[in-house]
Structure 1
Amino acid sequence: MFEAINLKNALQQQRSKWISEENMLEFYKNIFHNSESEGTSILHKLNSKPTKTENNFDFDKLDTKAIFHITDIKKICVDYRLRFLDTVYFKDVYPAEAISKIQILEKKHQTKLGGFKIIAPMEVFKLKKADDPLLFAPMGNGFYYLIHQWGNDVSPFRKLKYWAIKNIENLAVTLAILSIALTAISYPIFFTKPASFGYLLMLFMFYFKGVVGLVFIFCGSSGKNFSEYSWQSQYDKIS
């Protein structure tokens, strides 16, 4: 009934909202210029701080299905509480297929790739646990080229699980709904007769202030941040 979410497919669906695959290559050609680059070994570059922000691709050899803009990447990362970071922070082992694909791309486009980034849950950047990592190479002007995807698909409940901490608006809505539910459940305990709107509002505000206070205490002690602010942070806590 509930299928796992493939992040590559989710990214493609998000991108299709503003540009088609047929127009992607022409759009890319119109706004980009070539750049020169030098690199060392692929693994060394993957495990080192990036020294470049874009790569010199051959326009005619690009797969338009693999081109994504930073706005699409941000939307997916915020929705599913993922991180989009330089590969130097990635702590798991890269599959041989990912290295091979980089080598193939370098030969195909007659260039040396660098500046790699990866989409993955925050845990994979400090623990050996992988859920559907996506490896990208920067193209410049906010565009990234998807090189390889591996691991497991993301649970369809992950988006719902982290919906409340996506941003402050979602958190406010969640706390309001929780306070309404607590009010509806408990008001018969406090009022033997049908309560007036004023009394119900007072009870609701009591619960709302309580849950807001508890959330701020929890957030302050844990150091967690909203997804829309932490999707590019290499820190587990608010910096």
Structure 2
Amino acid sequence: MRKAEDNLIDQVGQILHDNTFNKKNVLENLKNYNASFTVINEDEVDKDLIFSISEIKKVAISYRLRFIDTVFYKHELPYECVLKIDYLNSTYKKEVQGLKVLSTGKFLKNKNSTDPALLFSPTNLGNYYLLHDWGKPLKWSRAISNWPLRNIETLFLTLIITTLIITLCLPTYLITLDRKATYWCAYRIGVFFHLFIFNMGVTAYITFAFSKNLSTGIWNSEKDFG
């Protein structure tokens, strides 16, 4: 009877040791990047959780998110992520590596942020498999507020619309001293172009002074997290 109890204790100890080793191995893979990592076979996972790089890029640009390797993420990921990775490792006999995080710049720099985040693993067909997501859901207001910074076209269009609204709101007596001038006069057109040039200058200053780069140029950039 004593021998049976000892065997049971030994088996439990071995299981705990194996689980601890697996968790440590998963955490090491999250923090190490290897260009020759093993990828997930798309035939072995849920197709609804597979996304192309173009789909991820579209979401990242629309909501001004960053898509970077986990090696550049300095904080601990949720334990659920580790469990799911460990499950994939044991089920499909693969060491899941080369993982990427899709989230806001605030989340990637601040461990206390509650912004939404998604963890992806590359697949054998060049796509990405969604392993886990956490945090608050994305709000449509974020996409609207960041619309001007999507690309050069949206920024230029925003400047035109903003300048046009300001120009149309200005009363004629603030535009010219000519009392005979009507609302739709040449002076208003001149004010529009002057305001447009001024707004472009202010935008350029803010862009360089506060590093407000366009989303198309930073969505997969890791320079701020190295």
Q: TM-score, normalised by structure 2?
A: 0.81
Query: Hey, what does 1:27 align to over in structure 2?
Result: none
Instruction: Map 1:176-195 to 2 at 5 A.
Output: 176-188=160-172, 189-191=174-176, 192=179, 193-195=181-183
Q: Give the Cα–Cα distance (whole angstroms) in 2 for the partners of residues 41 and 182 of structure 1.
A: 59
Question: Which of 116, 130, 133 is matched with 1:146 structurally?
Answer: 130
Distance 1:202 1:41 in 2: 66
Match of 2:75? 92
Distance 1:59-1:83 versus aligned 2 partners, 3 A rule: closer
Instruction: Report the CA distance shift for 1:122/1:173 in structure 2 as closer, same or farther (over 3 A).
Output: same
Unpaired segments of 5 or more residues in structure 2?
Answer: 1-23
Q: Please give the per-residue CA displacement for 1:180-202, whole angstroms capped at 9, x wherever unaligned.
A: 11111114222443144432211
CA distance in 1 between counterparts of 2:108 and 2:221 reads 11
Partner-residue secondary structure (3-state), 1:146: strand
Change in CA separation of 1:58 and 1:208 when aligned onto 2, cut-off 3 Å:
closer
Quickly say closer, same or farther: Cα 1:82–1:125, change in 2 above 3 A: same
Q: Specify which structure has the higher proportion of helix.
A: 2
CA shift in 2, pair 1:108/1:213, >3 Å: same
TM-score, normalising length: structure 1: 0.76
Q: Check conservation: 1:179, 1:211, Cα contact below 8 A.
A: yes
Q: How does 1:1-239 map to 2 (within 5 A)?
A: 41-48=25-32, 50-52=33-35, 55-128=38-111, 129-188=113-172, 189-191=174-176, 192=179, 193-236=181-224
Identity of aligned residues (%): 30
Distance 1:150-1:168 versus aligned 2 partners, 3 A rule:
same
Could you tell me how far apart the structure 1 residues matched to 2:90 and 2:41 are?
Answer: 11
Change (3 A) 1:117 1:185: same
**How far off is 1:114 after superposition?**
0.5
CA distance in 1, matches of 2:202, 2:185: 26
Q: CA deviation at 1:234?
A: 1.7
Contact 2:175 2:191 in 1 (8 A): no
Q: Give the total of aligned pairs.
A: 197
RMSD of the alignment, in Å?
1.9
Cα deviation code 1:115-137 (max 9, x no counterpart): 01010101222212141111111
Gaps of 5+ in 1: 1-39
- Contact 1:79–1:166, Cα closer than 8 Å, also in 2: yes
